[in-house]
Amino acid sequence: MANPSPLENALEQFDLVAKKIDLDASIYNRLRKPEKCYIVYVPVRRDNGVVEVFEGFRVHHSTSRGPAKGGIRYHPDVSLEEVTALSMWMTWKCAVVNIPFGGAKGGVVCNPKSMSRCEIQGLTRRYTSELINVFGPHTDIPAPDVNTNPQIMAWIMDTYSIAVGYAEPGVVTGKPIDIGGSLGRNEATSRGCIFTIYNLLKRLNRNVEDQTVVVQGYGNVGYNAAQIIHDDGAKVIAVSDSRGGVYNPNGLDPRELLNYKQEHGSFKGFPGADEVTNEELLELDCNILIPAALENVITKDNADRIKADIIAEGANGPTTTEADEILFERGIYHIPDILANAGGVTVSYYEWVQGLERDFWCEDEVNRKLKNIMDRAFDCVWDISQREKVHMRMAAYILAVSRVARAKLWRGLYP
């Protein structure tokens, strides 16, 4: 039987917590569906003069607690179902760290690795113009996601600003610092993930210096997580990207790995390390596993072979519901995505606030505020998991769904 789709997984997770907290039926029915789904067709003139039309999406799951917030991804496998699932996860993520945003997500079906910079700029600007009445600092605030970056956010901001007639830094987050981005935003998802790991290590009376770490996915989140925990004394023994990975039980230097990957395009041939597949990497003997790639990589088929005793989800939706139960029964500590990778949206919130106020903070202040938010969220989730005797994903969902449900109850139904 095939693994569930991201949307099936998201809905199953929601159904489980709704039953656990006896969620009111009227609230359940509203939260199980997104508020709005936009489908746009984006014409782009390729460098050879041919106009190609790409399909794009933007989904708002819930805006009960604030403006819609969520990334935009460029990937061949983007679908409306996937974006809907991701928007739902964003709702819970914002709620679990208690910031005043609702969940959104967007994407365009394309292969940016086969497109020139000029073509990607054309795609971005036309996608933005198709959604010009959707995006806005008080309505829907995009951010980077898979295959998107600060440059793409800058093009979105510029397109929107031209349309409204003035510079509006609050319309996107994850922008370059020069046009209103926040210091600390680039590393925020990774830093938040590491903060949750350190909170768990503290409760288990373990030292970070004694931990071995495996990271699947070596984009922004995976690399920065590896670098931060390496600098704090842990031993990073394996990493991978979409083409495969490398393993050395004696440890690897994350910066050397990044330099090699940038020079050669992959980790293949990295000196002093053995090659491993992404599937093999997940099952390596280690203390901490950070899946920071795509969805559904830990499933019922491999959950019983995971050797890490701590999993911190840098990616969205890397673990299926069936795998959750297997890992819990095996006594593996599992920090779920809606908590572990919420550092990115938290500092996006800080960037949004700074942009609206035109008052920008130093990096130490951003990181200090991020730590306070992540520590408080971890404490809440941990306390629920211990009190209710449930795994941390269920605890995080109990916290998040309860907050969103209360917001809907207070606001009522219009008309």
The rounded mean pLDDT for the chain is 96
Let me know if residue 243 belongs to a domain: yes
Give the residue from 205, 193, 44 showing the smallest Cα distance to 119: 44
Helix (H) or strand (E) holding 358: none
Is pLDDT of 157 > 70?
yes
Angle formed at CA 269 by CA 263 and CA 270, multiple of 5 degrees: 70
Residue 261 within any structural domain of the chain: yes
Bond from prior residue into 254 cis (ω within 30 degrees of 0): no
Whether residue 146 sits in one domain with residue 207? no
Both 121 and 260 in one domain: the answer is no
CATH number (domain holding residue 106): 3.40.50.10860
Same domain, residue pair 157 and 229: no
Domain extent at residue 86: 35-169
pLDDT given at position 308: 97
Give the pLDDT confidence of 398-414 residue by residue, as tens digits.
999 999 999 999 999 99
Length of the chain measured in residues? 415
The set of residues, in sequence order, having a beta carbon less than 8 Å from that of 386 and lying 6+ positions away, is none
Q: Does residue 162 sit in the same domain as residue 205?
A: no
Residue 28 has pLDDT above 90, yes or no: yes
Model pLDDT for residues 53-92, shown as the tens digit of each residue: 999 999 999 999 999 999 999 999 999 999 999 999 999 9
**Of the candidates 295, 310, 340, which is a domain's last residue?**
340
Is 302 inside any structural domain?
yes
- What pLDDT is recorded for position 370? 98
Tens of pLDDT, residue by residue over 185-206, are 999 999 999 999 999 999 999 9
Same structural domain, 328 and 217: yes
Q: Do the Cβ atoms of 395 and 378 come closer than 8 Å? A: no
Q: Give the total number of structural domains in the chain.
A: 2
Residue 253 lies in a domain: yes
Give me the pLDDT at residue 119, please: 98
pLDDT at 9: 87
Same domain for 116 and 88:
yes
| 119 φ/ψ angles, rounded to the nearest 5 degrees | -65, -40
Q: Are residues 202 and 244 in the same domain?
A: yes
Q: Are 97 and 345 in contact (CB under 8 A)?
A: yes
| Rounded average pLDDT over 273-302 | 94
Q: Say if residues 71 and 105 touch (Cβ distance below 8 Å).
A: yes
Same domain? For 192 and 156 the reply is no
Mean pLDDT for 232-246 is 95
Q: Is residue 315 part of a domain?
A: yes
The enclosing domain of 261 has a CATH number of 3.40.50.720
Ordered DSSP codes for 174-230:
S--GGGTPPTT-TTHHHHHHHHHHHHHHHHTT--GGG-EEEEE--SHHHHHHHHHHH
Q: Which amino acids are annotated catalytic?
A: 105
Q: pLDDT at position 50, please?
A: 98
Could you tell me if residue 354 is inside a domain? no
Bridge-based pairing of strands 235-241 and 212-216 is parallel
Tell me, yes or no, whether 70 and 151 share the same domain. Answer: yes
Percent of the chain whose predicted confidence (pLDDT) is above 70: 100
pTM of the model: 0.93
Do both 252 and 122 map to the same domain?
A: no
pLDDT of residue 159: 98
Q: Which residues of 118-136 are buried (b: 16+ CB within 10 A; e: fewer)?
A: ebbbbbbbbbbbbbeebbb
Contact in structure between 266 and 244 (CB atoms under 8 Å): yes
**What average pLDDT does the segment 232-239 reach?**
98
Q: List, as one string, the DSSP characters of 251-318.
A: ---HHHHHHHHHHHSSSTT-TT-EEE-HHHHHTSS-SEEEE-S-S--B-TTTGGG---SEEE--SSS-
Are 284 and 220 members of one domain?
yes
Distance CA 396, CA 381 (A): 5
Last residue of a domain, one of 108, 138, 169: 169
- 295 lies in a domain? yes
From residue 329, how far is each of 21, 244, 303, 309 by CA, in Å?
A: 21, 30, 11, 12
Show which of 288, 315, 340 is a domain's final residue.
340
> Tell me: the pLDDT tens digits for 350-382?
999 999 999 999 999 999 999 999 999 999 999
pLDDT value at residue 316: 86
Instruction: Kindly state whether residues 140 and 252 are assigned to the same domain.
Output: no
Average pLDDT over residues 145-159: 96
Does 2 have pLDDT greater than 80? no
Token pair for residue 148?
């998107």
In a domain, 74, yes or no: yes
